[in-house]
Structure 1
Amino acid sequence: MPHRPKGTRFWHYDFQVRGLRFHGSCGTEDYEEAKAVEAAERVKARNAPEVTGRFSISQALGTYWTDVCQHQPSARTARSQAKMILSVIEGSQQMDEITNASLMRYVAMRRATVSNATVNRELQMLARSMRHMVSIHGAEMPKIDFKTVQTAEPEERVRELTPEEQSKLFKHLRPDLGPFVTFALLTGARLSTITELEWSHIDQANKRMMFHLKGGGTMKFPISKEIAALLADLPRSELPDHSRYVFTFEVQNRKNQRRKIVPNGGGIMEEFRAALAAAEIHDFRFHDLRHTFATRLLRHTGNLKLVSRLLGHSNVETTARYAHVLDNDLADALDSVSMMGVSRRKSRRKQ
């Protein structure tokens, strides 16, 4: 029944449904009106998503964004994916009404304008949102198979920057962006990981850095002598909102003003692409700096597991795309020795 707390003239309701508490003001001083308000609130509570376990697609995406995505480096991408999902699937549609057939319709519509990889990333975003609602908020999960409806993707190409291309790139790159690109080559870190790196993530005493990874995880990355020297020479921003970030750029026409590098803003990626064009380096993206790091390290160490750990891969199979480096080394090894026990050089002398 309604009650009136001390210090207020309005009646309040306070009750539980299936262990969940609902409480608030009835907004009236009249007791009979307050009872009617409480009755209406009980009806609403019994049909509330957190009680019934039924959430809409819009609620699932919004809740997942609030609980998880907004704290990740890939927050902008997640927001964009959610908006695209809601442009095709009605936001008011209940989670438990989603079927494999409705997912196939989504795939068919999106494939008409974007790549298979983009469609798959959006489906994965939807799947994570729905599973989050199940595990955290007690939602009902429909019997659907996201893997079945995902489309085949072409194998990701591995583009490595040659030493000659590297030299030309830095020749044409804006000086204040040189350390930014160098760090990518020294660590293989993703663009979002580098731009979100803060000075508080740097542990010089133990020679470790904390990287925030794609998907929300973290990893400790060793600070080599080259990396330590690079970090020691980096200028810091004096702007309060930007000073905590490791990598900043000089704002053109504003003396001594440095700002945080934003992956999709400020014209920084345009500057990087302009340097590539000036250096006549074709078919190359910023992400290929990560590929370059991986192939160079694998070629030097021959250790696929080591490379996998430094890339932050949860499964070494993901790193297998770089195995061609080892294949080339194996071919070179076979060319350098005769398996019959006679060197090729000796056998040629006898002829």
Structure 2
Amino acid sequence: MPFRTAKTKIWQYDIQVRGRRLRGSTGTDDYEEAKAVEAEVRAQAKNSHAERGACTLSQAFGTYHVDICQHQPSAATSASQAKAILKHIPGKTRLDTLTNADLMKMVNRMRASCSNGTVNRRLQYMGRACRHMAKFYGAALPDLNFKAPEVKEAQERIRELSQDEQRRLFEHLPVDLHAPVTFCLMTGCRISTMAGLLWRDVGETEIIFRLKGGTTMTFPISREMRAFLASLPRSNVIEARRFVFTRIDKTTSERTRIVPKGGVFNTEFRQAVADAKIPDFRFHDLRHTFATRMLRQTKNLKLVSQLLGHKDITTTARYAHVLVDDMRAALDDFSPVSGGDPQNFPQSVDATL
């Protein structure tokens, strides 16, 4: 929307159109006229861009961020992914000149400084941004294979919080962080989903979770969850009041929203983990803890997959060790041969097992 500074009565505009930043004066002190001028500038920029059918990588990332990413909890992560890609492929590179060889070179360079998983996620982000420009804005895009350059990722470790570790963690956590950490243990949601949860997304029987990638899922509200939500304090700060989870700002003593990445919340959580002497534990491991506990309780891999919001059940299969442990325990207590207690077999002198 048009704006003006204290030094002038003339309205100014500062807008982004498909990754291009346009700034200038509307030439009028009438607000309605200024809005019309801004709208005309926006329309002209869009039409000019569409006629060319060409788009740079920088414009693609800027447009995708404005259209999609800025509305997601992972907006900061998406911005950092774009920034990292532009270190290897110049932003002025036109999409219609990109080749699969460019993608492979970028991947090989990135692997020298970050994990394979990070490389793959950046590649996937680039693919989404480019396809977005081609689908919605008619940008010329060659037949690029964003999947082929992906590199094999090491299997993610599964770290479950023991009940004793959980007790120690809460003993050292600041009191105002108990609720968000408890919620993640109850739902398995990611930190960005928890921090961005709005009261408008909390219904009578279900919650709408906004996931990475711009998708959503519904999570059922149990009796325990309903009582938990009813106990949460509300912020008296207008900007933060719409968020379900807040923390106390030690400077103002007001409840403010939780910053999911790089903020005070993360620092205090890591400090609590260190003070509780819990080794090799990260915030994301609360999600692992939820998954393993639910799978152990329900024995239902598909159900746990749905609760985690996984699109593919093979992603959930990494927790299958829980079922294997339970099956082993069941076999230890029962003999399929005798139908009762396990039998004792005499050891052969030639046994090699």
TM interval, shorter chain, is 0.7 to 0.9
**CA distance in 2: counterparts of 1:179 and 1:272, whole angstroms:** 12
Q: Which amino acid aligns with 2:245?
A: F
User: Residue in 2 aligned with 1:219?
Assistant: 217
* SS of structure 2 residue aligned to 1:220: strand
String of CA shifts for 1:290-341, please: whole Å, max 9, x gaps: 1100110011001111111111111111111111111111111221211212
Question: Number of paired residues?
Answer: 305
* SS of structure 1 residue aligned to 2:104: helix
Quick one: which of 274, 277, 280 aligns to 2:274?
A: 277
User: Residue in 2 aligned with 1:310?
Assistant: 307
1:164: how far off?
Answer: 0.8
| Mapping of residues 225-240 of structure 1, within 5 Å | 225-240=223-238
Can you give the 5+ residue segments of structure 1 that lack an aligned partner in the other structure?
1-26, 28-43
Stretch moving more, 135-144 or 74-83: 135-144
**CA distance in 2: counterparts of 1:197 and 1:119, whole angstroms:** 28
User: Residue in 1 aligned with 2:15?
Assistant: none
1:170: how far off?
Answer: 0.5
* SS of structure 2 residue aligned to 1:254: coil
User: Residue in 1 aligned with 2:128?
Assistant: 128
1:253: how far off?
Answer: 4.4
TM-score, normalised with respect to structure 2: 0.82
| Mapping of residues 254-333 of structure 1, within 5 Å | 254-255=252-253, 257-333=254-330
| Mapping of residues 40-51 of structure 1, within 5 Å | 48-51=48-51
User: Residue in 2 aligned with 1:69?
Assistant: 69
1:183 paired to 2:180: no
Q: Which amino acid aligns with 1:87?
A: K
1:265: how far off?
Answer: 4.4
* SS of structure 2 residue aligned to 1:83: helix
1:149 paired to 2:149: yes
Can you give the 5+ residue segments of structure 2 that lack an aligned partner in the other structure?
1-26, 28-43, 347-353
User: Residue in 1 aligned with 2:333?
Assistant: 336
* SS of structure 1 residue aligned to 2:109: helix
TM-score, normalised with respect to structure 1: 0.82
Stretch moving more, 101-110 or 292-301: 101-110
Stretch moving more, 265-274 or 302-311: 265-274
Q: Which amino acid aligns with 1:169?
A: L
**CA distance in 1: counterparts of 2:139 and 2:244, whole angstroms:** 41
* SS of structure 1 residue aligned to 2:243: coil
1:59: how far off?
Answer: 1.4
1:113 paired to 2:113: yes
1:158 paired to 2:158: yes
* SS of structure 1 residue aligned to 2:218: strand
1:349/1:152 Cα in 2 relative to 1: closer, same or farther (>3 Å)?
closer
**CA distance in 2: counterparts of 1:349 and 1:137, whole angstroms:** 73
| Mapping of residues 62-101 of structure 1, within 5 Å | 62-101=62-101
- Runs of 4+ residues deviating >4 angstroms: 347-350
* SS of structure 1 residue aligned to 2:219: strand
**CA distance in 2: counterparts of 1:323 and 1:261, whole angstroms:** 33
1:252 paired to 2:250: yes
**CA distance in 1: counterparts of 2:225 and 2:238, whole angstroms:** 25
**CA distance in 2: counterparts of 1:162 and 1:178, whole angstroms:** 17
* SS of structure 2 residue aligned to 1:88: coil
Bigger Cα Rg: 1
**CA distance in 2: counterparts of 1:118 and 1:266, whole angstroms:** 21
CA RMSD of aligned residues (A): 2.2
User: Residue in 2 aligned with 1:38?
Assistant: none
String of CA shifts for 1:28-87, please: whole Å, max 9, x gaps: xxxxxxxxxxxxxxxx99x95412432111111111111111111100101111111112
Stretch moving more, 56-65 or 136-145: 136-145
